Chains A and B, each alone.
Chain A
C-alpha cells in the first residue's frame, strides 16, 4: 500500500493515532446518558405487547396517581403532531404507512409505543409505566412478507410499494438461454446493534425560543429539518447536538418516535425531558433490517456468460415505513448486478409491511443482501455449468476497458456509473496473495483425510460518497490553531481524524492542531451527516477544497508581508517560508491570521480573517470494489462452523488513514460474520419477538470474529473526487455472508446447500443429515 513520504505527521496516507481516542479510552467520553440538565424529567415508553391489535382504551389514571409522575400521554394528548416524515422529504405515495410518535387506533408490532410517562426520575417512570393499562383487541398478525398481503387502510394493502428496476428484454433472453439456473435464497432479519443504546434529551429554552435535542447522531441536520417540518418551527429555532456516539451502523441517529416525543414534551411540559433506551427496548424498537427472500434466476450462455438476471424479492419492512422510505428496496434492486456485466436485468421488489419491528438501513443496505443472493447464484451457475466458481465470475466481470461503466439503474436518485476499476486485476492480486491454487490443493487433501474444510469467495462492488454536495468552513485563529466546522457526523468511525488529516495536508500543519466540529446544527447551517459511506468522500473533499482556499489566502498575505510572491512560499508545521530558503524569513499561520483581523492595517482589501468556506459537488457516487475469501471448517457432529482464515481485498482509491480503513473493514466483517452465522430476530407465530436480550440475539464476540488478512489497494482513485477518495465504511460486511456460505458448501461437499442465513449449527446439521452426511 502506498505510504506518504517526506510529509509531516498526520497528512494523507498516514496511519496516525485517532484524535478522538484520548477521551474515549480514559473514560472522559460524553454520551447522551452522561448529559443532564437541572429539573429534567425522565420519559418511559409503554409499548404494545401485541404484534397487531386495535387499541380499545388506554387507562393512565393509576400511573398518573404515582407520586413523582408529571404527565402520562397517549396519542390523544398529541393529536396535532403528525407522523414521522421521511428524511429526504415528503412522499405522498408512502405517507399512509408512516408511524405516529404514539400509536393511533392500531398497534402494528410488539414494541409499538402507545403511551409515554414523564416522571421525576427513571425509576418512578418505569414503575408508573407498568400501571398504564392497555386494552388491545388482538388482530391476526402478518409475520411473513411472502404471505398474501393484508388490508392496511382504505384501499391500501400491506404491499406498500413495488419497486422495479431493470433493462433489456427478459422474456426473450430467458427463452433463448442455453441454461436457466434458479435459486431461492433468504437473508434473515437482523440489524446493526450499537454498543450504546439510543437516547435523547429534549430541552426548550423559552428565553431564546430555541428547541434543543441532545443525543442526535448520524444525520443531525436532516433530523432538524424533519422536526421543523413536523413541529412547524424555523430551522433557526431548532438545534440538534451530537455527543459521543457508541456506534451507528445506519440504525442509530434516524428520527424515531422517542426523539419526537422528548422534543414535544420539552415544549409542552416546560422542562427538559430525558429518555435513555434500554437494551430490551432497543432490540424491539430500533430499526431492524435485511430480511429479504429472493427468487432469482440466471439465463446462462454456453460459455458461462450470464446473459440475463431475473429477480423477484419480498422485503419484510415491518410495522411501518420509517424515515428511509423505500431506500433499501431501491438500493437492493439498484446494486444487485454488482461487479458483473449482466446485459439484461430485472428485479421486482415487493416492499411489504408485516407485524414486526419496522426495518430500514443497516451498514451496506441493499448491497449486503443482494451480494449474498447474487454470489449464491454465481456459485449455482458454476455448479450447473460444471465450471470453476472463479472462472464463472471472471467470465462475467465488467472489464477495465469498459469503464466507467454506466447502467440504467438508480441508486438513491443517482444513476449507477461504475468508477474505473480493474475487478479481474484485483481478483488476480487477491488470489495470488492468498495462494488460492495451493490452498485448493491443501483443502482437497484435508477433505480426502475426512475433514470438512472448504474455501469460498464473494465478489462485490460498493457504493460510497452519496451526493450531491457538501461544504466545510475553516477558521485559523491568532495562535495558529485551526477549526474545521462541518455538517458531518461522528458515529465512531474516526471522522475527526480523517478531516484533520485532510485539512493538515493543505494547511501544512500537524493534524493535532486541528479541531473538527461535527453534528452541531447551531455551528453550520447545512450538513448531511455520516451515512452511505459519504463522510470522507463528500465532507472530506469539501474540507480539502476549503483548506486549499485558506492556504492560498495565507500565502497571499504572507507574500505581501515577506515581500515575495506567493508561488515561492510553502507551509511547514504551521510556518510559512520560502520553498528555496526554509531557514529564511518566515511567518506563522497565527501571525498571518492576526494580520487579517478586521482592524489590521496590513489586511488591505482582503476579506477579514484567515478563513474560508467551500462547496464540493459530486456528479456521481463512487464505486469501490473488492472481494472476500473465507476458509471454514465444519464439525459434522455439532453443525458448528469455524472460520479458519479470512481475506479481504479492497480498492479504496486513496487512503487517508490506512489503519482506520482496516478498522472499518475488520469491524464490518465482525458484523458480517454475525449476519452469516449468528444474528437473527425470530418471531413466534403470534408475532412475539424471540430475541430481545443478548442471550437470544447472538452478536459475535472477539472469539468468533476472524482476524482477516487485508489487501488494501489504491490502484484506481475515483474519478469523481479530486483526491480520488472512495468510501470505506461498508466493504467489510458486504461480502461476508456470501464468502462464508460458499466456503461451507465447499467444506461439506454439497453445492448450493446454504440458502439461508444465519447458518446455525442446527440448520447445518439438518442439511448434513438430509444429505446423509
Chain B
C-alpha cells in the first residue's frame, strides 16, 4: 500500500497551479487538495498520477464569502469550516446540518468542499447539495475561467464535465431566502459511511401551498441530481402526508438506482422513497 512514484509540485499562485496542470494533465497530472479520497486511492495504486499539484499553499483559494447573492467556497475550504454556519441565514444552517454526515471528524478537518465536488463520488453530500441548490462551478484553466451550472457538471461516477486542465477554483451556492424550508436525510450502515441513498429537499410556501420545490437525490444513482418528477408532484400542493408520499414515490420511480454486491436496486429505490418522504416531513416540521 505504497503509492507509485510521482512528481510533487507545490505552486503558490492560481496561475502557477493551472499552468502546471495544463502541462501535466495530459500525463495524468492531478490536483491535490485535502487528499482524503485521492491519497487512499493512490495507496491502493488505483490512481497513479505521475504529477501531483498541491494547491494547499496557493493564496486566495481559501475564500469563504458571500458575493452577488451566493456563498463562494474556495478550493481549499475544508469541510470542518461548515461545522458552524458559514453564512447568516438558511443556507448557513443547512450546510451545517449536512456537514456532520460527511465521513468522520478528522477527515472533515482536511477534506475540502471543492475536492469532494471535483471527485464526484455519487454519494458525496456536497455534490448533492450543489446539484439540489443549483450551484455554479467556477472552472479555471490557463486559458481562463468557465462557469458550469451544477446540472451540467456531474456526468457519472467520479466523472464531471471539468476539463483535464481545469481547476475547480470555486463553487458558488445561491443564498436561500429566509422563508425556505429544508430537510436532509441520508441512510448508511454505519455513521460516516458513504450514503446508500440521501436526499436534500427545499421549498417555500405561498398561500399555504408549496412553491419552488427542489428535491435532490444522491448516492442512489451514478450522479446526484434534482428529480423533476418529484418536484412536479410537490409543486402547488398543500404540505402533508399525501403530497409528501406522492413526491417520494415519484422520486423513487424516476431514479435509475445503482447496484453493487452489497445493495440491490430495489432496496435503493425503496430507501429513496422513505428518505424523500422523511426529508419533506423534516422540512415541514
Contact = CB atoms under 8 A, between A and B. Distances in A.
Interface in B1-59: 1-2, 4-5, 43-45
A299 to B, nearest CB: 39
Given A637-B274, A682-B261, A765-B267, A698 B189 contact: yes
A698 B190 contact: yes
B186 to A, nearest CB: 11
B156 interface: no
A127 B267 contact: no
Nearest to A769: B270
A701 interface: yes
B191 A126 contact: no
B187 A640 contact: yes
A376 to B, nearest CB: 23
Interface in A670-708: 678, 682, 684, 690, 693, 695-696, 698, 700-701, 703-704
Contacts of A690: 261-262
Contacts of B193: 695, 698
A122 interface: yes
A638 interface: yes
A220 to B, nearest CB: 27
Given A684-B261, A761-B267, A703 B191 contact: yes
A704 B267 contact: no
Nearest to A125: B2
Contacts of B262: 682, 690, 696, 760, 762
A280 B1 contact: yes
Contact of B187 (A638, A700, A701, A760): A638
Interface string A634-645: 000111100000
Given A638-B187, A640-B187, A126 B194 contact: no
A704 B190 contact: yes
B95 interface: no
A701 B274 contact: no
B163 interface: no
Nearest to A763: B267
Given A638-B271, A640-B187, A126 B263 contact: no
A684 B189 CA distance: 21
A695 B189 contact: no
Q: How large is the interface on B (under 10, 10 to 19, 20 to 34, 35 or more residues)?
A: 20 to 34
Contacts of B261: 682, 684, 690, 696
Interface string A270-282: 0000000011100
A123 interface: yes
Interface residues of A, number: 28
Contacts of B192: 701, 703
B187 A703 contact: no
A750 B193 CA distance: 30
Interface in B229-280: 261-264, 267, 270-271, 274
A760 B189 contact: yes
B189 A126 contact: no
A122 B2 contact: yes
A250 to B, nearest CB: 24
A514 B148 CA distance: 69
Contacts of A762: 262-264, 267
Majority-rule SS of B interface residues: loop
Contact of B4 (A127, A638, A698): A127
Contacts of A126: 1-2, 45
Interface in B129-156: none
B2 A638 contact: no
Interface string A107-140: 0000000000000001100110010000000000
A214 B32 CA distance: 37
A279 B4 contact: no
Contacts of B191: 701, 703-704
Contacts of B43: 278
B115 to A, nearest CB: 18
A640 B4 CA distance: 40
Contacts of B189: 678, 698, 760-761
A703 B190 contact: yes
Contacts of B270: 637, 765
A199 B1 CA distance: 14
Contacts of B44: 280, 693
B155 to A, nearest CB: 22
Nearest to B261: A690
Contacts of B264: 762
A637 B193 CA distance: 19
B284 to A, nearest CB: 18
A519 B167 CA distance: 54
A279 to B, nearest CB: 7
B249 to A, nearest CB: 13
Contacts of B194: 695
A695 B41 CA distance: 12
Contacts of A684: 261
B3 to A, nearest CB: 8
Contacts of B45: 126, 130
Interface string B98-112: 000000000000000
A762 B270 CA distance: 10
Interface string A759-773: 011100100000000
Nearest to B185: A638
Contacts of A704: 190-191
A638 B199 CA distance: 14
Nearest to B274: A637
Interface in B191-223: 191-194, 196
Contact of B5 (A123, A278, A280): A123
A682 B261 CA distance: 8
Nearest to A279: B1
A701 B4 CA distance: 31
A238 B20 CA distance: 55
Given A637-B270, A760-B189, 13 more contacts: A122-B2, A126-B2, A279-B1, A280-B44, A678-B190, A682-B261, A682-B262, A684-B261, A698-B189, A698-B193, A704-B191, A761-B267, A762-B264
Q: Which 3 A-B pairs have the closest CB atoms?
A: A278-B1, A703-B191, A637-B274
15 contacts: A123-B5, A126-B2, A126-B45, A127-B4, A127-B5, A637-B271, A682-B261, A690-B262, A695-B193, A701-B192, A704-B191, A761-B187, A762-B263, A762-B264, A765-B270
